Structure 1
Amino acid sequence: MTATQVLNRVTPDKVSMEIKDPVDPTALGQAKAIIEELTTTDGSVDPDALLKVGKRLKDIPEDASKFLVSKEECKEAFDGLSDQERTALVNIHGRVKAFAEMQRKSVSDVEMDIPGGKAGHTVSPCNAAGCYAPGGRYPLPSSVLMTAVTARAAGCKTVVLASPRPAKITMAAAHIANVDLFLCVGGAQAIGTMAQGINGVVPKCDVICGPGNKWVTAAKSLVNGKCGIDMLAGPSEVLVICDETANAKVVAADLIAQAEHDVVARAILLSTDASMIEKIDSEVADQIEALPEPNRSTALEALKQSFAVQCKTIEECVAISDDIAPEHLEIQTADSQKVADSCGNYGGLFIGENAAEVLGDYGAGPNHTLPTGGTGRYTGGLSVFNFLRIRTWMRVDDNKASQGMVNDSVVMARLEGLEGHARAAESRKL
């Protein structure tokens, strides 16, 4: 290892998808105990127990008498921002809202003819959405906007937000996102409360979304079924595919930006050019030294499980990337669009040198809550579709015209050994 080498070097044949269970077993047991502590005999959450747990786990101050942040407090926080901060929040809100509304308009009620009648589907939002915004190492108002604004654009009547120890900027984001209820608790206690509700105070949420720590993820796995969830998110990750035309400073900056998220975040570099890998690694070493603490220490720890791979061709880069299915995939090559079109598995795609992943983090429009740990092979990021129900219907007006369908149902039911089904179909015979 040279004096400046930061990224581990891995050969293409040694790269594995490394799919890990996002649910930590210890956190799962602790989350289960917390939710049980909160739950009353009727299945709802006891508000006194929530206040007690919130204080014990340092979500709220010891002298606190409530676990809700009022709308007035959120507006006051918004009004207290500088003009520059307020403008940024308003601009990001507008872009996220516009993108989510575009998504909502892309799906609509439809119907078609069937023998003797009609069939179709309706698209309708769930009633209550639960949104989680982390409140740990850094305040994340962007997560408030990504979740709450998207739920609102889907048409949810009630939007509940949970975030522990909320910073003023988080409260300000809640104001502009028009959140109905703001729980200032986090972890399993927040997820359990949104899933089970508090009688007369917090409704049971139909869908819970948003990133969080291992207790949040564990709790989401426990309540899944009582309500819907967006995903079980693991450590954040970025993968950059580049060639000799890339800007080493820019690529290095993007790798570091991802690494500073968390000590378990992962930054991956795939390139066809050995000298470019060395240039980028040297830039990473230089740039990371200029970071303030604790960002520098966090990024350095994350880079220990990050790596660079020299590939023979761009096609080999794409094949490795598709196997990993990264949360964020950046393409910085001579023909970035062509390479992007050949990629199959990812959470969010960032095409070209100027399409920084951090622009996606901060509201270019597409959601920044994205699948991790290889799950981009079968799912996408948070969207209005997480909050929508597509429900089918059928109507038969002309029994005579439907007789062929009736006869087919009788035959199929008896092939499956379901005589009651067959006789139910036969009752429609003329």
Structure 2
Amino acid sequence: MTKQLLRSIDLRGQQLTLAQLRRAVPRAAADDTAGVESRVREIIAAVRERGAQTLRELAAKFDGVEQAEVRVPEAALEQALKELDPAIREALEESIKRAKLVAERQRPEDVAVQVARGARVTLRWQPVGRVGLYVPGGLAVYPSSVVMNVVPALAAGVSSIALASPPQKEFGGLPHPTILAAAALLGVTEVYAMGGAQAIAAFAYGVDSIELEPVDLITGPGNAYVATAKRLVKGMVGIDSEAGPTEIAVLADHTASAALVAADLISQAEHDPAAAAVLVTPSVELAEAVQAELRKQLATTKHQERVGQGLEGEQSAVVLVDSLDQGLAVVDAYAAEHLEVITEDAAAIAARVRNAGAIFIGASSPVSLGDYCAGSNHVLPTSGTAAFSSGLGVQTFLRGIQLIDYDRAALAQVAEHIVTLARAEDLPAHGDAVTARFREDSGESFGEV
């Protein structure tokens, strides 16, 4: 019997609680988080203490690059754009155009509420002042991540953007030229050839010798070291999320094409040997057909080794369920970064999903569409965090500031309530701060106002 690429998890005939479902869905084994954190702490401390010297030492150690300058010259950005393949430029421009259309409509309006006569509370959306965007440079090249990070930041009104991507030995210590070209297309001129935890530390604390000012917010995906560094500097700066390896879940029934489902699972497994590919279905026939298609398509895909590792890893599986209702419970417990719904009446089924980073509806909306040209953002929550967090968007780069504007009469209307609540909390000075405003003008006690 031919070995199946995806392991099988059979939940049919079981009535499982949410806790049991979360334990049943496929997940990767926990990383050596303590070991990674210890090394990242050392890197952060070294960057804070020795700045650019540490950045250069780590570029030599991890990237095989002897750096003269950490900051990328603007002339290199211009040259990369000039030499960009016209077809790639056209594709990037289309991706940017669609992302802008969506992002510009996402910006919320300020909200002013007249609470009472003379009493107004306004919620004003204010962009963060300065952002550090991280673009990975490991197994693949990600100009699309430049687009997904920069476009919503610009739509939010961020005025200062710095971008970092690892130095590449084959390109003279600069980031990949397609990354540089994408930055140039979007008007980003502050670009640094630095990667890993050291880039995150440099963004968070700044590096005086290369005139890198600290940022207010760091966004962008990366490996375990990048994610750990973001977690460790959170509080000093804001972060979008601690993104882990990519994942796809497909909720499909007997109407789905096995060939298309298999192609979509492979497309995400192509990212990383740790990528997760999960099929949830009530159809045994579809499950078997998808397994056969995976074997067939794996034989012809370019990155066979890492795709095979991803599919065979414990983070990937076929989950058999009794019905689409049970399937919905499973995908909500899994809370996928990317969820495809390929079923009869897919839009109605998708409308019932509560937890996912992004939902792709029907056979003509593959995850690859969202990776590049849907107009949506592909920086999404992973590892089940879609149950409580959102993907990257304009809102990531905004803060809500409350403006409180009461006149004297409006304050008098609630002053007694404030005093009462202040005394109930044994904070009488809170009440005194209100009554003082009336004594100051009239000399009267609060009770006489």
Unaligned residue ranges in structure 1 (runs of 5+): none
- Give the aligned residue type for 2:324: I
- Give the aligned residue type for 2:71: L
Matched with 2:180 is 171
- Give the aligned residue type for 2:275: A
> C-alpha distance in 2, partners of 1:320/1:128?
40
Q: Find the residue that maps to 1:402 and give its secondary structure.
A: helix
Q: Is the alpha carbon distance of 1:21 and 1:223 closer, same or farther for their aligned partners in structure 2, counting shifts above 3 Å?
A: farther
- Give the aligned residue type for 2:235: G
Q: How do 1:10-409 residues align onto structure 2 when only pairs under 5 Å count?
A: 10-12=9-11, 15-16=24-25, 18=27, 24-40=33-49, 46-58=51-63, 61-62=65-66, 64-104=67-107, 107-115=108-116, 116-165=118-167, 166-199=175-208, 201-292=211-302, 295-304=303-312, 305=314, 306-397=316-407, 399-409=408-418
- Give the aligned residue type for 1:287: Q
> C-alpha distance in 2, partners of 1:18/1:53?
32
> C-alpha distance in 2, partners of 1:21/1:345?
22
Using the size of structure 2 for normalisation, the TM-score is 0.89
Q: Find the residue that maps to 2:409 and give its secondary structure.
A: coil
Q: Is the alpha carbon distance of 1:22 and 1:131 closer, same or farther for their aligned partners in structure 2, counting shifts above 3 Å?
A: farther
- Give the aligned residue type for 2:159: K
Task: Give yes or no for contact 2:99–2:151 (8 Å, CA) kept in 1.
Answer: yes
Task: Give yes or no for contact 1:131–1:161 (8 Å, CA) kept in 2.
Answer: yes
Q: Which moved more, 1:199-208 or 1:262-271?
A: 199-208
Task: Please state if 1:9 is matched with 2:8.
Answer: yes
1:212-234 Cα shifts (integer Å, max 9, x gaps): 01110111011101110000112
Larger Rg: 2
> C-alpha distance in 1, partners of 2:30/2:244?
8
1:345-385 Cα shifts (integer Å, max 9, x gaps): 00010000010101101131111000011111111100111
Alpha-carbon offset, residue 83 of structure 1: 1.7
Matched with 2:172 is none
Task: Give yes or no for contact 1:158–1:180 (8 Å, CA) kept in 2.
Answer: no
Alpha-carbon offset, residue 283 of structure 1: 0.4
- Give the aligned residue type for 1:85: I
Task: Give yes or no for contact 2:110–2:123 (8 Å, CA) kept in 1.
Answer: yes
Task: Give yes or no for contact 1:238–1:326 (8 Å, CA) kept in 2.
Answer: yes
> C-alpha distance in 1, partners of 2:373/2:126?
25
Q: Which moved more, 1:232-241 or 1:112-121?
A: 112-121
Matched with 2:171 is none
Q: Is the alpha carbon distance of 1:311 and 1:347 closer, same or farther for their aligned partners in structure 2, counting shifts above 3 Å?
A: same
- Give the aligned residue type for 1:413: A
Alpha-carbon offset, residue 22 of structure 1: 7.8
Q: Is the alpha carbon distance of 1:245 and 1:54 closer, same or farther for their aligned partners in structure 2, counting shifts above 3 Å?
A: same
> C-alpha distance in 2, partners of 1:229/1:22?
21
Task: Give yes or no for contact 2:222–2:244 (8 Å, CA) kept in 1.
Answer: no
Identity of aligned residues (%): 34
Task: Give yes or no for contact 2:77–2:189 (8 Å, CA) kept in 1.
Answer: no
Q: Is the alpha carbon distance of 1:85 and 1:91 closer, same or farther for their aligned partners in structure 2, counting shifts above 3 Å?
A: same
Alpha-carbon offset, residue 16 of structure 1: 3.5
Task: Give yes or no for contact 1:181–1:202 (8 Å, CA) kept in 2.
Answer: no
- Give the aligned residue type for 2:207: I
Q: Which moved more, 1:192-201 or 1:319-328?
A: 192-201
Q: Find the residue that maps to 2:410 and give its secondary structure.
A: coil
Q: Is the alpha carbon distance of 1:390 and 1:169 closer, same or farther for their aligned partners in structure 2, counting shifts above 3 Å?
A: same
1:82-129 Cα shifts (integer Å, max 9, x gaps): 22111111111111122111112xx11221223432111111111111
Q: Which moved more, 1:9-18 or 1:400-409?
A: 9-18
Matched with 2:426 is 417
> C-alpha distance in 1, partners of 2:70/2:258?
47
Alpha-carbon offset, residue 23 of structure 1: 8.4
Alpha-carbon offset, residue 21 of structure 1: 6.8
Task: Give yes or no for contact 1:142–1:363 (8 Å, CA) kept in 2.
Answer: no
Task: Give yes or no for contact 1:133–1:161 (8 Å, CA) kept in 2.
Answer: yes
> C-alpha distance in 2, partners of 1:162/1:68?
9
Alpha-carbon offset, residue 164 of structure 1: 0.3
Task: Give yes or no for contact 1:230–1:386 (8 Å, CA) kept in 2.
Answer: yes
Q: Is the alpha carbon distance of 1:388 and 1:256 closer, same or farther for their aligned partners in structure 2, counting shifts above 3 Å?
A: same
Task: Give yes or no for contact 1:271–1:309 (8 Å, CA) kept in 2.
Answer: yes
Q: Find the residue that maps to 2:356 and give its secondary structure.
A: coil
Q: Find the residue that maps to 1:67 and give its secondary structure.
A: coil
- Give the aligned residue type for 1:360: G
Alpha-carbon offset, residue 19 of structure 1: 8.9
Q: Is the alpha carbon distance of 1:206 and 1:81 closer, same or farther for their aligned partners in structure 2, counting shifts above 3 Å?
A: same
Alpha-carbon offset, residue 401 of structure 1: 3.4
